Amino acid sequence: MNSRRRFLQKMAITAAGLPLLRFQSLAGNFRRDEPVLRVAMMGLGGYANRVADAMKACTKAKIVGAISGTPTKLSDWQQRFGIPVKNCYNYENFDQIKHNPDIDVVYITTPNALHHSQVLRVAAAGKHVICEKPMALNAKEGQEMVDACRKAGVQLLVGYRMHFEPKTLAITEMRKRNEFGKIMFFQGQCGFRIGDPTQWRLNKELAGGGSIMDIGIYAINGARYMVGEEPVWITAQEIKTDPVKFKPGVDETIQFQMGFPSGAIASCLSTYNMNYLDRFYLNGEKGFAELQPSTGYGPIKGRTNQGELTQPHVTHQTVQMEEMADILLRGKKPAIPVDGAEGVRDLKIIDAIYAAVRSGKREML
């Protein structure tokens, strides 16, 4: 009897202490005493699946909703990610998320041309937005999206996963500490041979362009955060070897150059017709940095004049969503911006690249 009494007393003391502990929910990795970012994915294609699978390892964000025009995809996601039917929408009725307190943010991974209208609708519904890059078809659309989110009192983030990648951040921190000295030159090479000629990425109406609107934006964005400045001029040249596959308005290969206020220059290549192009190179008066591969899903490999970069690889989308949860829920400021204004800066450069291709002249920014 005494033993039983001592056991019950011990259990009571233990139970009394439980609210003070941080522990994992039976449903997953989430801590009950921390807010979790509740995400609805819009556009359930290949990249959305990659993000959702990566989020299984997140402790600060989880998939709670889905938006798609394909009923079978919604059914599949309900089963795979435990999404309740009430949190599933199609493209006609997703405005009703404004009545759904289970959803904090909508992550948009649809074709480029749909981003503008979808972000405006999500903002009007009072939800935060994460939009894949490029954020819009041009800077005018992008600024309208930023303005709409600001007016609605919601945040707009862009899916710049490389802004959280450890080796990338290591180089930008070295540059901030002046370890490379005055930056002189950046080279960004981004490309692959694109497959199915009927896919949306080769449809001008849906993609807004060609390789620049897909893979080239990595070199544009990378030049900015590696050099640490905003470009002031652009020149660009287009090469098209297959006008059947790459129809008017869909660029196959573009070489472009950028000049920065300090005098640094960038030389970049964006292509849908060459494989094995995924390299950043930064040159300064006192040192250099190289990433190869530089923007793929990983692992990223890099070195500087001081030696090999050894930061461990973690799935990019897992890190991105953990960090974005901190930004949206806890006001964290990222080392490299990922907000809508950052997206507009890239779109202004894209606009200038296409203008330079048409004019054959230097375009000022």
Q: Catalytic residue numbers?
A: 133, 218
Structure tokens at 184: 């002189």
Q: Which residues have C-beta within 8 Å of that of residue 102, sequence separation ≥ 6?
A: 38, 64, 65, 84, 86, 87
Indicate if the alpha-carbon torsion angle 78, 149, 330, 319 is positive or negative: positive
148-173 core/surface letters (b: 16 or more CB in 10 A; e: else): bbeebebbbbbbbbbbbbebbbbbbe
Pairwise CA distance, residues 305 & 180, whole Å: 9
Under a CB-based contact definition with an 8 Å cutoff, are residues 36 and 325 in contact? yes
Kindly list the distances between the CA atom of residue 190 and the CA atoms of 219, 246, 253, 255, 281, in Å, as whole numbers in the listed order: 7, 17, 10, 10, 12
Nearest to 337 by CA among 230, 209, 181, 216: 230
The token duo for 278 is: 């995924």
Show the tokens assigned to 236.
Answer: 């660009």
Distance CA 216, CA 112 (A): 14
- Give the E-state strand segments of 207-351 in sequence order: 233-239, 253-259, 265-271, 277-284, 288-291, 302-304, 307-308
The DSSP H or E segment spanning 148 is helix 139-152
The token pair that represents 156 in the structure block: 């707009």
DSSP assignments along 153-167, one per residue: T--EEE--GGGG-HH
The amino acid sitting at 37 is: L
3-state secondary structure of 140: helix
